[in-house]
Amino acid sequence: MLVQQLNKKNKRLILLASSVVCGISLFLSACKSKTMVFQAERKAQIGGEFIRLFDDGHAEYGYGVVTEKLKAEGSYRFSNDTLYLLDESFLKHFPAGYLIVKEGFVLMESGFHFEVTQSYKQP
């Protein structure tokens, strides 16, 4: 009987400790801020468009006049001089699913280009 009471107390302590550890890890992951590692911009007649890449693998494409509005966001992969936009929301704007980065510019298949304003540093 004494052994059963000790087992119940141990189970409660283990459960409490695991919930505390889980809560701390969730808090720390929520506190981590995204760091922008790449940005390219394209001026338009009114406002402009942008592509941003973050260190957590998240990409954003949008435009801004007075305020910024996202048109697409999702994951990306950068390999050599090619930026692969992996989320389907990008396909409406970039049908090939990738963009080429050359000499300070992001080249689109339509002939338009974005100027790189913050370079991506590959590991």
What tens digit of pLDDT does each residue of 52-70 get? 999 999 999 999 988 889 9
DSSP track, 55-101: TTSEEEEEEESSSEEEEEEEEEEEETTEEEE-SGGGTTT-TTSEEEE
* Between 28 and 84, the higher pLDDT residue: 84
* Residue 38 burial class via C-beta count within 10 angstroms: exposed 0-12, middle 13-18, buried 19 and up: buried
pLDDT tens digits, 7-55: 666 666 555 545 544 445 444 455 556 899 999 999 988 889 999 999 9
Which residues are 107's β-sheet partners? 100, 113
The domain spans of the chain are: 1-32, 36-118
* Domain 36-118 indexed as CATH 2.40.128: yes
What are the residues whose beta carbons fall under 8 Å from the beta carbon of 87, sequence distance 6 or more? Answer: 59, 72, 73, 74, 75, 76
> Tokens 């001089």 map to which residue?
81
Residue 103 has pLDDT above 80, yes or no: yes
Q: Which of 114, 94, 123 is nearest to 40 (CA)?
A: 114
pTM: 0.68
Assigned token pair, 108 = 């689109």
Residue 108 has pLDDT above 60, yes or no: yes
